[in-house]
Amino acid sequence: MRARVMVTLKREVLDPQGEAVRRGLESLGIQGVRNVRVGKLIELELDDAAGDVQAALTLAVEKLLVNPVIEDGHVVVDEAAR
Amino acid sequence: MRARVMVTLKREVLDPQGEAVRRGLESLGIQGVRNVRVGKLIELELDDAAGDVQAALTLAVEKLLVNPVIEDGHVVVDEAAR
């Protein structure tokens, strides 16, 4: 089974890396990009017998993967990839 | 309109950050995590009139966002969020 945790900066947190990407795209001639935010994508490969994955990963997000002061975490479990 | 670029390390590239996360999850008592890979999630907010977004972002992936030696890039355009 596969799961993804998407970690993004909260809206109110400045993202200089994202702004650098936005300017880079502009100088590449790509128009119409209003805003860019750079976050983390954590891909997990899990045993099929791994019980309540959603609950375990929500715990993981709270305890390890996300800094709750500046980041949000979002868990997506890909049941189809079992 | 919104789009996402997911940047992941190629399979054959070692990911020490992912391995550190895997061990962290294990020591949190989360069982059954076989493998973890850490990549980047780039979220873009685009003007609705921004033409052929898929083509523009594929160019962006090739020229700016991905290091093709070690990374793969994947573009997801969220038409529903227009």
pLDDT digits (tens, 9 = 90+) for B16-44: 999 999 999 999 999 899 999 999 999 99
Chain A positions contacting chain B at CB under 8 Å are 6-8, 18, 21, 24-25, 28, 30-47, 49-51, 56-57, 59-60, 63-65
Q: Give the residue numbers spanning the domain of B47.
A: 2-81
Domain containing residue A66: CATH number: 3.30.1280.10
**Whole-number Cα distances in Å, A1 to A4, A12, A58, A81, B19:** 10, 34, 16, 5, 18
This complex has an ipTM of 0.90
Give yes or no for a contact between B58 and B5, defined as CB atoms under 8 angstroms apart: no
CA distance B3 to A12: 20
State the pLDDT at residue A80. 66
Q: How distant is the Cα of B46 from the closest Cα of chain A, in angstroms?
A: 5
Count Cβ atoms within 10 A of the Cβ of residue A15 and give its class: 0-12 exposed, 13-18 middle, 19 or more buried.
buried
Domain count, chain B: 1
pLDDT digits (tens, 9 = 90+) for B52-72: 888 899 999 999 999 999 999
